[in-house]
Amino acid sequence: MYRDTGDLRLCGGGEAMRTVAVTGGIGSGKSAVCAILSSHGVPVYDSDSAAKGLYAKDDSLLDAIEEAFGCGIRQADGSLDKARLSSLAFSSPERLRTLESIVHPAVLADFKRWNAMQSSRFEGSGASDVFFGKEPFCVMESAIILDKPEFLSVVDRVVMVDAPLALRLKRACGRDGVPPERILQRIAVQRFDLSKVDAFIHNDGSLEQLRSETEKVFTGLKI
């Protein structure tokens, strides 16, 4: 599905760089795919890491989260207790929506600033092997983009990474050090409208197989 962002203007009045969203459920392998793309030289914006960075440097954002979730979400040093916030936010759809209404506008504004910098960085560049024979583009890694029109409006293509549920649970539990019940709780609130996906990357094999699949999909993807 093509989303025309050609008229989008970013900070400083520049043209938006074409953007591919990489999405997928918990433990699907989004980050592994983005690491492969980054190794090619493709600029990658990690929405989750960006949000965590904003927690650390944007006091007004942290104040708004504390007002919504209570003083218990700060640690002794005043920083955000991310584990506590995650537990609270994923305890109900309503609480998750509350957190998203606070954090998402800040992340979207940060992405637009970052996109503008990438656009300037690659201005005048033509098609190259770095971009799989295409004009320069960037990638946004986001688990929630298919359910968020405000984020979909700034991307041109969506690629979804998928994997069997049992494998996703094994990966996520090993990575996060939490029991399967916690991961299943997070999975239960994730929603994916597959009609908005332009291509799929199947991640149920080795890392080399994932690299091959990623390169194949991005080579064939029209951006």
Distance CA 30, CA 104 (A): 19
Q: Which long-range contacts (CB under 8 A, 24 or more apart) does 29-32 make?
A: 29/161, 29/163, 29/171, 29/201, 29/203, 29/210, 30/141, 30/143, 30/161, 31/141, 32/161, 32/203, 32/207, 32/210
Average pLDDT over residues 23-48: 95
**How much is the CA Rg of the chain, to the nearest whole Å?**
18
Return the sign of the alpha-carbon dihedral for residues 173, 175, 177, 183.
Answer: negative
Q: Cβ of 8: how many Cβ atoms within 10 Å?
A: 16
Structural domains present in the chain? 11-48+110-220 (3.40.50.300)
Pair 59, 180: CB distance under 8 Å: no
Greater model confidence, 60 or 4: 60
pLDDT in tens, 72-122: 888 888 888 888 888 888 888 889 889 999 999 999 999 999 999 999 999
Q: Mean pLDDT of all residues in the chain? A: 88
Which H or E run includes 21? Answer: strand 19-24
pLDDT in tens, 194-223: 899 999 999 999 999 999 999 999 999 998
Beta strands 19-24 and 44-46 are: unpaired
Q: Which of 14-18, 70-74, 91-95, 132-136 has the highest mean pLDDT?
A: 132-136
